[in-house]
Chain A
């Protein structure tokens, strides 16, 4: 393949992945939680570490460890499914009435595609997010950070198989995390 062809494949793939991420955000913001769950592989890992202030030479200790420490989130589809079901009970008071939420997804970078850019079955993609939440009357949160996702093709459809969420906060400034990143 020529360089031009590879570049075109890359651009098309990036566009495709970006569309996927935007569509995902749309589902969440429109509160189609069950459809959103369908975008996750059955073996998804959903991880959001906590962040410590540490010395510059100890940055390996900045994040709490997946699978070992207490994290804001460190779970699979079963728990995510429970979170959705809890919201749908109509008596989950932290989300009843429902919050108004807007996901902004930007700075999308395609980091890799396996086995190839022309015929990928797995891609890794990094982006920035800004989540705006407003609930009841004046309660408002802005949550800003980075996301690293792995997407896998299952039956010709992209699904999320890994999501790492890096929130740029130390003390969590929101009282709860009742929504999805």
Chain B
């Protein structure tokens, strides 16, 4: 087993670990425990992180226990309908205040000495307050530690511990153009979306960045899923996904290197109507209806069909098939805990619900035919990268480096981001390079003044 070891490169300067001009990245950033520890401070304590969905806490007193980096947090709706995110650790002696996964409560009572915290986090009950504390304890100072900022963006709840972090909107930049396709209803009409009951949580023995960079744009690993294509789990009974909606589309990799986000997106020709989901009459009629509504509601933007994406650092999502959110929670350099939320339009008919639910389960997560193979690859890629000799050999991120893709013809669609046409190339790695460029900046920048590179005009502003 590899143990803690200084990076092998000549200088411990992080720029030598992530060399994007040459397109090589040291394995140290995946396996080195010291770098992992710095990530907790530099990255997870400063970035905006995904916490949960508003449909999980629809009533006052509803809570859902989530995770920010390594730490447990409570997402809670208070009596005044305000949404809060607290550290799940008692201010008295650190006891995990809530060991339930979700529920509804008037108050969080600490099992250890009985301090109790209201749903807005305030310390409201202290046993022997009069006798033992002589009523001198300042309860207003000892509420549950709360995140610095929280944002409900179209039902998705995000938070950051850093009060100097920019607003969520600024953190995302133009990337919300793509994220919206996940959070809006399928017809784009602005109705309500909810998550299915049952959040998948499981342990994957590899560094959290493996799945984050896979989702941000790894078209290249298509070959690893051959067995699923042969067995056929796709929503129309064959293959893996229903790709008919992408026929004739331009394949685009879109990167936001100044922010770290990235997405795989397909741009359909103008007149194209989707014919996917020919599973059953009700299901196909429903999707055909949504599609024509979608064209009305989004106009020319309906031409975009986004695929796997990552919001920096560790939230990934699939906006169409199977529509879901993943968070890769770090658990030491060599392991992480994956959490998975599955989304559905609130007003979807029962047949459609059932059809999608079944597809989601058979595609995704530990029991999903497709993702089982992803986890095997990430597991053993990490496993084989830990040795001294392995660490001398950086990973290769040179695909498409130094070449411009063919021109992107968007016919007046002003799509944000750094866009690369990979229709002929099949795949590229600009999105991964963008992710690690941002990762490097986070690891060395002293504060958000340095991190908000787009403000000083040299980064492209979106």
A interface list, Cβ under 8 A from B: 48-50, 52-55, 58, 61, 64-65, 67-75, 79, 82-83, 85-86, 89, 91-95, 136, 139, 170-178
Complex CA gap A171/B189 in Å reads 36
1/0 per residue, CB under 8 A from A, across B182-216: the answer is: 00000000000000111111111100000000000
Pick from B198, B202, B231, B379: contact of A70, CB under 8 Å = B198
Segment from B97-105, B279-287, B293-301, B433-441 that makes contact with A: B97-105
- 5 pairs of residues in contact across A and B, judged by CB atoms under 8 Å: A53-B100, A72-B200, A74-B357, A171-B203, A175-B376
A93 and B103 contacting across the interface, CB-CB below 8 Å: no
Question: Which residues of chain B are within 8 angstroms of A69 by Cβ–Cβ distance?
Answer: 196-198
Known: A82-B232, A175-B205. 7 other contacts (CB 8 A): A49-B198, A54-B102, A61-B103, A79-B233, A172-B200, A175-B203, A175-B204
Nearest-neighbour CB distance to chain B for A143, whole angstroms, equals: 11
In the A-B complex, the 4 residue pairs with the closest CB atoms? A70-B198, A69-B197, A172-B202, A92-B227
Supposing A54-B103, A74-B358, A75-B361 touch, asked if A86 and B200 sit within 8 A by C-beta, the answer is: no
**Do A94 and B372 contact each other (CB < 8 Å), given the known contacts A170-B201, A175-B379?**
yes
B337 within 8 A of A: yes
| A-binding residues in B (CB < 8 A) | 99-103, 196-205, 224, 226-228, 230-233, 337, 342, 354, 357-358, 360-362, 366-367, 369, 371-373, 375-377, 379-380
Instruction: Closest A residue to B324 by CB, please name it.
Output: A70
**Do A53 and B197 form a contact, CB below 8 Å, given A89-B227, A175-B366?**
no
Smallest beta-carbon distance A173→chain B, Å: 6
Docked-complex contact B202 and A71, CB < 8 angstroms: no
Specify which of B101, B342, B379 is in contact with A52 (CB 8 Å cutoff).
B101
Given contacts A64-B197, A69-B198, contact A171 B337 (CB under 8 A): yes
| Interface residue from B202, B230, B358 paired with A86 (Cβ < 8 Å) | B230
Q: Which residues of A contact B375 (CB under 8 A)?
A: 94, 175-176
The distance in angstroms between the C-alpha atoms of A176 and B375, with both chains bound, is 8
Residue in chain B with minimal CB distance to A61: B103
Contact status of A64 and B100, CB under 8 A, knowing A86-B369, A89-B231, A93-B377:
no
Please measure, in the bound complex, the distance between the C-alpha atom of A171 and the C-alpha atom of B203, giving whole angstroms.
7
Pick the contact of B230 from A53, A65, A89, A171 — CB < 8 Å? Answer: A89
- Checking A89, A93, A172, A178 against B203 with a beta-carbon cut-off of 8 angstroms, the contacting residue is A172
Is B373 touching A93 in the complex (CB atoms < 8 A)? yes
Known: A54-B100, A55-B100, A58-B103. A172 touches B201 (CB 8 A): yes
Whether the pair A53, B99 counts as a contact (CB closer than 8 A) is: yes
Contact among B204, B226, B362, B372 with A178 in the assembled complex (CB-CB below 8 Å): B372
A86 cross-chain contacts in B, Cβ below 8 A: 227-228, 230-231, 369
Q: Which residues of chain B are within 8 angstroms of A68 by Cβ–Cβ distance?
A: 197, 357
Shortest Cβ distance from B362 into A: residue: A79
In the assembled complex, how far is the CB of residue B326 from the closest CB belonging to chain A, in whole angstroms?
13
Cβ–Cβ contact B231 & A72, under 8 A? no
> In angstroms, how far is the closest chain A Cβ from the Cβ of B300?
35
Give the most central of A73, A83, A172, A174: most B CB within 10 Å. Answer: A172
Asked if B360 and A70 make an inter-chain contact with CB atoms under 8 angstroms apart, the answer reads yes
- Contacts known (A69-B196, A94-B373); A174 close to B366, Cβ less than 8 A: yes
Instruction: Report chain A residues within 8 Å CB of B369.
Output: 82-83, 86
Among B102, B204, B230, B367, chain A packs the most CB atoms within 10 A around the CB of: B367
Distance to closest chain A CB from B367 (angstroms): 4
How close is A132's CB to chain B, nearest CB, in angstroms? 17
Could you tell me if B101 and A170 are in contact, using CB atoms closer than 8 angstroms? yes
Q: Which of B101, B204, B361 contacts A73 (CB 8 A)?
A: B361
Is there contact, CB below 8 Å, between A175 and B202?
A: yes
User: In the assembly, what is the distance between CA of A49 and CA of B200, in Å?
Assistant: 10
Also in contact, A177 and B103, with CB within 8 A (given A85-B230, A171-B337, A172-B201): no
Q: Which residue of B lies closest to A79 (CB)?
A: B362
Give the docked Cα–Cα distance between A91 and B376 (Å). Answer: 12
- The residues of A that contact B360 with a CB separation of less than 8 Å are 70
- Bound together, the chains give a CA A49 to CA B224 distance in angstroms of 28
A72 pairs with B366, CB closer than 8 A: yes
**Complexed CA–CA distance, A94 and B379 (Å):** 10
Please indicate the chain A residues that have their CB under 8 angstroms from the CB of B342 in the complex: 70
Which residues of chain A come closer than 8 Å to B99, judged between CB atoms?
A: 53
B317 CB to nearest A CB, Å:
16
Q: For the complex, give the distance between the alpha carbons of A89 and B231 in Å.
A: 8
Q: Report chain B residues within 8 Å CB of A172.
A: 200-203, 366
Q: How far is the CB of B353 from chain A (nearest CB, A)?
A: 9
How far is it, in angstroms, between the C-alpha of A79 and the C-alpha of B358 when the chains are bound? 10
Residue numbers in A under 8 Å from B224 (CB-CB): 93
Q: Which residue of A lies closest to B232 (CB)?
A: A82
